[in-house]
Amino acid sequence: MLYPTRISLAAAQQPARTQTRVLHIAEKNSVRKALSRVFATQLETNARRRNVNGVEVDTIIEPARGEFLNQGKASNNSRNKMNFNGLFEPNSTEQTSVPLTHTICAVRGHLYHTDFQDEQIRTDWIRTNPESLFDEKIKASVPPENTDLAKMLRTLAVESDAVVLWLDCDREGEGIAFEVLDTIENARRSETIPPLTIRRATFSALTPKDIITATNNFNPTKNKAAIPNKNLANAVNARIEIDLRSGAAFTRFLSLRYQKLFPNLKDNVISYGACQFPTLGFIAKRRMQRERFEKGRLWSVQMGVELGKLAEFAKSIISENSKNSEDGLKMVENIDKYTNHTLKSRKTIAFTWKKPDHFPNHEKREVQKVFDYCNDKENAKASLTVLKKSMKKERPLPLTTVELCKNMSNYAKFSAKKTLELAEKLYHNGYISYPRTETNVFDLKKGYDLKKIAKPFADPANSDFTEYTEDSFKNNFVLPSSGSKDDNAHPPIHPVKVLRKRQCNDDDVWTVYEFIVRRFLACISPDAIGERTRAVIGFQNNSDENFGNKAASTYGPQSFTIGGTILKEANLTRFFYNPTQKKHFLAHVKGFFEFF
């Protein structure tokens, strides 16, 4: 791919003219619309929409600013917030004494398509050796579906003095940046016009604040990302070339080979992709596991205990062990109180059988022996043990794309594709940050004001997340835990603006937004503190009678458990929870265990 040679990295120093023209190029049409709204509002003017070679673009004319831009003087005028620092030379009075014309357009992702240069290589599978595809020449060109975009860029490039690239701040965005710049340079190469000034906007959300901050951060000495990174673009081109060569070679090899072996595949293509093929392997392996699985009945022992009888049993154990001590008598008294007002309904609770590691299998005859072992009234002795352990539910790490997709699959049964489509709707409308990121740490050095983000959600008049109160915000705010991943492109996914449920006409969009907000609030809240309680009823039988040739020890001792967690300090669990998680305790069990 050709790279621009006449693109200037220095700030614009153009001859005096009646206006200065800045071309803003977004990666998607929705981003173009968001930029136009913010520019028109902040620059106190209207956006004029026009058609350039069949593509819609917006034009915003900003009146001359005077001296404040060169001298950095503040003004109450809202348009002065967008100073475009680093785009123009600070002492260039020509840039401040004339109007600025902002033209905002958009591409549709990658502008170029890469393929083999020779047409016969591209089309003739039979006479082309698949192995040769690793060495054949390739070329990047504008495909027919992007011809309108290329013509639009060429037309606007000749008219412009500076270009600002509003592309995604990741590796693919850098690749698209140099495709756009290559197209622009081809249009300007034959013109006797000065080189363009190129800047890269760095942003992670489409809120007015993020866009304004980006427009004031074009100085490459302070922001290295303000200059397109050729190395990252080369990495993208390498990935595209590897995908093309390996995909074409293996697809042709597999298709031609198996079409000969299996006539019914004559019209089928066996496609290979560097990422898709391993995924197909996982799917095929899982399918074979399912097909080979042999169904069978599994038997187990169930134990139900009436609460009243459990209370009496607990009293007898306590009395025997405490020998009428003060603490023991108090426990018995508490159980009596609880029994009198709660246990008269004779409710039954289920204890779960904890199968011993040495137990042979789940066959009926073996499980029947366990049943007999525990029901031997003459020889089996029952015991009750209550164990307590402090627990802590740690606040989650900041949210990444993979975690968002996994959680939405578990909670809402959304596919990854649907989740990202819904998240991008929220992003393009300015409600969340960029949703494609692997970063799980907030780099506070980059100026992320997490308190400012969280504060609107603590206002019950303007937020649906009423569990997050003003007190939570003032007294329980903590810095989020830091993960180990940082893609150096975008922060973790987080809300940037409050959305009310009544404003949202799509329940699925609200589901994704609600999860992102609750996850963020959990990240900045203290860990939940609780107490895990587990009751174990054990059976010990030392008689070998009725167990055939096997000793009673083969079937015992046996234990049955029930347990759960009582929260002492709810903290993050008040507004962040797993919707599919079953409650640890039935209500009438919780009170019983609190007396131990």
Question: Partners of 542 in the beta sheet?
Answer: none
Question: Partners of 386 in the beta sheet?
Answer: 535
Q: Tell me the pLDDT of the chain averaged across its residues.
A: 81
What is the domain-level CATH number for residue 166?
3.40.50.140
Mean pLDDT of 419-428: 94
Tens digit of pLDDT for each residue in 455-490?
898 888 888 888 888 888 888 888 888 888 887 778
Is residue 284 helix, strand or coil?
helix
**What's the pLDDT at 325?**
64
**What's the pLDDT at 593?**
44
**What's the pLDDT at 329?**
64
pLDDT of 508 strictly over 90: yes
**What's the pLDDT at 2?**
40
Same domain, 223 and 344: no
pLDDT of 349 strictly over 60: yes
Number of structural domains the chain divides into = 3
Same domain, 36 and 153: yes
Residues 6 or more apart whose Cβ sits within 8 Å of residue 76: none
Q: Which domain holds residue 352?
A: 303-394+529-593
| Spatial contact of 435 and 404, defined as CB atoms under 8 Å apart | yes
**What's the pLDDT at 550?**
57
**What's the pLDDT at 340?**
57
| Residue at 109 is within a domain | yes
Same domain, 191 and 309: no
**What's the pLDDT at 196?**
84
Tens digit of pLDDT for each residue in 325-340?
666 666 666 666 655 5
Same domain, 366 and 353: yes
Tens digit of pLDDT for each residue in 142-179?
999 999 999 999 999 988 989 999 998 889 999 999 99
How far apart are the C-alpha atoms of 277 and 89, rounded to whole Å?
A: 52
**What's the pLDDT at 384?**
79
Domain boundary among the residues 188, 206, 234 is at: 234
Tens digit of pLDDT for each residue in 487-499?
777 899 999 999 9
Same domain, 478 and 536: no
Backbone angles phi and psi of 484, in degrees to 5? -110, 5
**What's the pLDDT at 414?**
94
Mean pLDDT of 176-204: 86
Same domain, 199 and 116: yes
pLDDT of 588 strictly over 50: no
Same domain, 104 and 198: yes
Tens digit of pLDDT for each residue in 361-411?
677 888 888 888 888 877 788 887 878 888 888 888 999 999 999 999 988
Percent of the chain with pLDDT over 70: 79
| Residue at 573 is within a domain | yes
| Spatial contact of 110 and 179, defined as CB atoms under 8 Å apart | yes
Domain boundary among the residues 526, 545, 573 is at: 526
**What's the pLDDT at 87?**
80
C-alpha dist (Å) from residue 589 to 338, 347, 353, 563: 11, 10, 18, 9
Cα angle value 422/426/427 (rounded, 5°): 115
**What's the pLDDT at 186?**
85
| Spatial contact of 140 and 233, defined as CB atoms under 8 Å apart | no
| Residue at 158 is within a domain | yes
**What's the pLDDT at 394?**
87
Nearest to 353 by CA among 555, 591, 587, 565: 555
**What's the pLDDT at 88?**
72
C-alpha dist (Å) from residue 265 to 155, 261, 291, 359: 48, 9, 24, 51
| Residue at 15 is within a domain | no
Mean pLDDT of 285-303: 88
Is residue 482 helix, strand or coil?
coil
How far apart are the C-alpha atoms of 352 and 349, rounded to whole Å?
A: 10
Same domain, 216 and 70: yes
H/E stretch holding 106 reads strand 100-106
Tens digit of pLDDT for each residue in 262-282?
888 888 888 888 888 888 889
| Residue at 253 is within a domain | no
Q: Which of 279-283, 339-343, 507-511 has the highest mean pLDDT?
A: 507-511
Same domain, 102 and 122: yes
| Residue at 163 is within a domain | yes
**What's the pLDDT at 20?**
84
What is the domain-level CATH number for residue 385?
2.70.20
Same domain, 560 and 426: no
**What's the pLDDT at 590?**
41
Same domain, 174 and 204: yes
| Spatial contact of 464 and 513, defined as CB atoms under 8 Å apart | no
Produce one character per residue of 297-310: b if its CB has 16 or more CB atoms within 10 Å, e if not. Answer: eeeebebebebbeb
| Spatial contact of 100 and 79, defined as CB atoms under 8 Å apart | no
How far apart are the C-alpha atoms of 366 and 428, rounded to whole Å?
A: 61
Domain boundary among the residues 526, 542, 565 is at: 526
| Residue at 3 is within a domain | no
| Residue at 13 is within a domain | no
Produce one character per residue of 532-570: b if its CB has 16 or more CB atoms within 10 Å, e if not. Answer: ebebbbbbbbeeeeebeeeebebbbbbbbbbbbbbeeeb
Tens digit of pLDDT for each residue in 196-218?
889 999 998 898 988 999 998 89
pLDDT of 358 strictly over 80: no
pLDDT of 1 strictly over 80: no
What is the domain-level CATH number for residue 497?
1.10.290.10
Percent of the chain with pLDDT over 90: 36
Read off the pLDDT band of 540 (50, 70, 90).
confident
Same domain, 105 and 60: yes
How far apart are the C-alpha atoms of 222 and 225, rounded to whole Å?
A: 9
Scan for tokens 């705010």, then name that residue.
Answer: 477
How many helices (H) and strands (E) the chain has is answered by: 17, 13
Tens digit of pLDDT for each residue in 68-107?
344 344 444 444 578 788 887 655 554 556 778 999 999 9
Cα angle value 468/470/471 (rounded, 5°): 90
DSSP code for 582 = P
